[in-house]
Amino acid sequence: MILTVTLNTALDITHRVPALVPHTTHRVTDVIERPGGKGLNVARVLAALGHDTVVTGFAGGPAGEVLRGLLAPLPVRDALVPIGGTTRRTVAVVDTATGDTTQLNEPGPAVTPAEWSAFLDAYGTLLAGADAVALCGSLPPGVHVGAYAELVRRARAAGVPVLLDTSGEPLRRGIAARPDLVKPNADELARLTGAREPLRATRDARRRGAHAVVASLGPEGLLAVTPDGAWRAVPPARVKGNPTGAGDSAVAGLLSGLVEGLSWPERLRRAVALSAATVLAPAAGEFAEEAYRELLEQVTVTEHPAAA
């Protein structure tokens, strides 16, 4: 079983408009609601790849009820912890003329100390049956900034490989707890290390405590620095569409590859193909399956000449 943790779950709402023009009224042509938050997106992709997947985190209020209702028919198991606050909403507005997306993210509900304690109990129980765990996304109000570091340490104590995908101070503290893998994007990596050059920044991030670092470079693919070497994985061409959830699909590719015992090049190939195929899908947490199969054969993976 693969466990994904989303402390700040969301009800994802995607609006499609013919053209997004500031200061005007728009007629929405299509609306899609999905259970969201980074870890839930990861879980849906993992399930589509055939992995037994459990989601945990927090859900509450009317939006939380809708989220859990949408989650129920999906091939993932719901182990979300109920809270008194209301789950946030995220709204993506897709301009169908250009393919560009404008994202509006609410901050999330306040979590009480008692609710955090209940989550820790649930997390410990779930770790006992997990082959790997992904800790994903932002922290909701009320959860201490070192929360991911605490969850990394608990996973390591249980002997469960742990992937961390967050940003800012939670990433800085979490990486010091020595996760097996972190997956920052280029901006998150630069804020963490102060370096803009991808290889330098990725190596610096690894020296801060992570066993391996895979940096997401947007349309330029992934850069991995690991104990076994360094690689670049690049898609065949830039794809147009909704990029929401593309990074989460990359996490699913990396985590599934870890559990399946794939080599680093094959993990990276899968992660890049899934990420690109997600841009072509209508909503986060999905990927265009035919495009994924085609892209998997076209992704270029090269060993980086610099040592890890």
Residues designated catalytic: 248
Q: Say how far apart CA 169 and CA 176 lie, in whole Å.
A: 11
Is the torsion defined by CA of 211, 129, 270, 91 positive or negative?
negative
Angle at alpha carbon of residue 189, lines to 282 and 260, rounded to 5°: 60
Q: What is the 3-state secondary structure (H, E, C) of 117-178?
A: HHHHHHHHHHHCCCCEEEEECCCCCCCCCCHHHHHHHHHHHCCCCEEEECCHHHHHHHHHCC
Question: Are 17 and 93 contacting, i.e. CB atoms less than 8 angstroms apart?
Answer: yes
Rounded to 10 deg, the angle between the 264-279 and 246-260 helix axes is: 150
